Chain A
């Protein structure tokens, strides 16, 4: 039973396309996140949702739009994909403040 699952695992697409990544957690957590990992392995938070409300948006371009239909799901939609969007995107969840986060397996996005 995967705790945090995201799909797809790999995504190859052309510049200018629109794509979505889906994330689901079955841990009953209140908070979900999207992180971006660049080619040097550096991890940077993009968004955080608590009980379906956006609480962090870390200067991410407007082309990125998260959507949380319920507490267990946090999807990421990306419009007009650019070469620089190529990265691994991780979804994560946590129960409360000051607790650890559980991560999905990642989605490797390649824009060509």
Chain B
């Protein structure tokens, strides 16, 4: 079945460091891919998305490129801030699972001042 695998956390970085959170997927068909962020005590917010191969989603300095050949959608940010501390979820949605979004296990990110 469809699934998402993302790197285990927690990830701890210093402020202004470069961030990569790896995400790979298995899916039938051509999924849309998402990154969601969950700040402490809050719900999930869509961070960025990409709906077809080679699309790049971007928001708030975060980027991820839909790589069909490697079935990956890695999240990157050039210079992280303390306010980026949160749990990040990679997710997919395909027509075969049209009525649900499948999430990875989440990666907790902590940024040190």
Contacts and interface: CB of A to CB of B under 8 A. Distances in A.
Interface of A: 31, 33, 40-43, 45, 48, 50, 55-56, 58, 90, 92, 94, 97-106
B51 A103 contact: no
Nearest to A104: B43
A31 B32 CA distance: 17
B46 A102 contact: yes
Contacts of B51: 98
Interface in B30-54: 31-32, 34, 36, 38, 42-46, 49, 51
Interface hub of B32, B93, B100 (most chain A Cβ within 10 A): B100
Contact of B43 (A55, A58, A99, A103): A103
A100 B100 contact: no
Interface residues of B, number: 26
A41 B87 contact: yes
A48 B45 contact: no
Contacts of A104: 43
A97 B100 contact: no
B99 to A, nearest CB: 4
Nearest to B87: A41
B58 interface: no
A98 B42 contact: no
B103 interface: yes
Contact of B106 (A33, A42, A90, A97): A42
B24 interface: no
B36 to A, nearest CB: 8
B101 interface: yes
A3 to B, nearest CB: 10
A79 B42 CA distance: 26
Interface in B66-101: 87, 89, 93-95, 98-101
